[in-house]
Structure 1
Amino acid sequence: MKGAARIERVVTHGTFSLDGDTFDVADNVWLVGDDEEVLVVDAAHDAEAIHRATAGRRGTAVVCTHAHDDHIGAAVAFSTRTEAPVLLHPDDHELWSRTHPDRGPDGELTDGRRLTVADIELQILHTPGHTWGSCCLYVPFLDAVLTGDTLFHGGPGATGRSYSDRPALEASVRARLLTLPGGTVVHTGHGRDTTIAAERPNVPTT
């Protein structure tokens, strides 16, 4: 009998570069699946480390919450190794091309699209603001949402760089995330987990 569906974290290390600046970062890579198959969320920095963590399971997809280089740097290498298709919202294709100019994503994320892995469903929520194509993945069966850099422990993610907008980000968080059940665990793109209820006071109401 295969093991139960679950979410696992792999932390990888590298850099983030945009607008002429480069920073050292640690990224959360999320594996959603069971003992037989796994969906990877944000293949960051180290394809080999991510592949080891999948432990021989079949990769069903590489889902990119957004196209900042630290979140997609290992996506092509992991996809080539496993034949898992890379999925990205089309509004982030220009950002993607800065990191991977010779290969585009294999498919598109759209608001409301549903992906299936390990007999559970993940719903795509388009949450523009951190980037225009930013998306989150809501997993009702596991009472979880994977938010990339849209929502962190402490509030919404960063803006102020190219392809971002603070009012749009806060509006996305209010409309698409804070409306989820309060006990929903928020698995973020960097740092520690939180919950929807914990973050409600940290998001401006207007």
Structure 2
Amino acid sequence: MIHEILTVGPLQCNCSILGDENSHEAIVVDPGDDIPRIMAVLATHGLTVKKIVITHAHIDHIAGAHRLKQLTGAPILYNQHDLPLVKMMDIQAGWLGIPTPTVSAPDDTLEDGKLIAVTGLSGSILHTPGHTEGSVCLHIPTQSLLLAGDTLFAGSVGRTDLPGGNTRKLLSSIHERLLTLPDDTTVIPGHGSRTTIGTERDSNPFLQN
């Protein structure tokens, strides 16, 4: 599997490009900004985007998705519970002092257990509400890989003080959906450095009893 991680936008969101070396089909996760850079990496590997996956509808994760869809024709997928956040995109832009981006409605929703697949590569959606009501993670078990969005970070967890946040739901999502994964699962959070499920279970101060 090809896996490129680009830090994009003013909040340095981790955008993942996942591609199959044989079919050259790709999934792009959280294209929050810097679409020319994303397109350049796709071109370097000869990849064709088949799906655009958004872990949650905060501006730093979704702002570039519409433009990427225009350029590639790939459908945009995110959980319908985050539609209220899309409707307040102008307010989100105001938080950062940036122009309001065009944000498309999802072409399909990301329900828990939904299979996300291109030729040669597949994963499943884990619905993990808490950071937002529609937050999801993408789990690719054959690669021992979890793209965690802003649900789980190295040594931390997602903030819950923004609209749609709920601390109880967040911690429940992490304990019930993420910490049940194998310890050696690599976690790519929405921001910052990678970690593993085992490391976070053992040492994340927000997850200790």
CA displacement 1:53-80 (0-9 Å, x = unmatched): 1114110111000000010010000011
- Contact 1:109/1:124, CA 8 A, preserved across alignment: yes
Instruction: Name the structure 2 match of 1:29.
Output: 15
In the alignment of these two chains, the number of paired residues is 192
Question: Does residue 107 of structure 1 match 2:108?
Answer: yes
Structure 1 segment 1-206 matched on structure 2, within 5 A: 5-14=1-10, 25-35=11-21, 36-55=24-43, 56-99=46-89, 103-201=104-202, 202=204, 203-204=206-207
- Contact 1:97/1:104, CA 8 A, preserved across alignment: no
Q: What is the distance in 2 between the residues matched to 1:32 and 1:197?
A: 23
- How far is 1:101 from its partner? 6.6
Partner of 2:38: helix, strand, or coil?
helix
TM-score by length of 1: 0.88
Percent identity over paired residues: 39
TM-score by length of 2: 0.87
Q: What is the distance in 2 between the residues matched to 1:97 and 1:107?
A: 17
- How far is 1:13 from its partner? 2.3
Q: What is the distance in 1 between the residues matched to 2:17 and 2:102?
A: 26
Relative distance call for 1:82 and 1:153 in structure 2 (3 A) is same
Q: Decide which structure has greater strand share.
A: 1
Q: What is the distance in 2 between the residues matched to 1:26 and 1:59?
A: 22
Partner of 2:137: helix, strand, or coil?
strand
Could you tell me which runs of 5 or more consecutive residues in structure 1 were left unpaired when the two chains were aligned.
15-24
Relative distance call for 1:102 and 1:30 in structure 2 (3 A) is closer
- Aligned AA for 1:6? I
- Aligned AA for 2:130? G
CA displacement 1:155-181 (0-9 Å, x = unmatched): 321111211011110000000000000
CA displacement 1:8-67 (0-9 Å, x = unmatched): 2011122xxxxxxxxxx1111001112411100001112111111111411011100000
* Mean CA deviation greater in 91-100 or 141-150: 91-100
- Aligned AA for 1:77? R
- Aligned AA for 1:204? L
Partner of 1:191: helix, strand, or coil?
coil
Instruction: Name the structure 2 match of 1:19.
Output: none
- Aligned AA for 1:184? T
- Contact 2:65/2:103, CA 8 A, preserved across alignment: no
- Contact 2:17/2:27, CA 8 A, preserved across alignment: yes
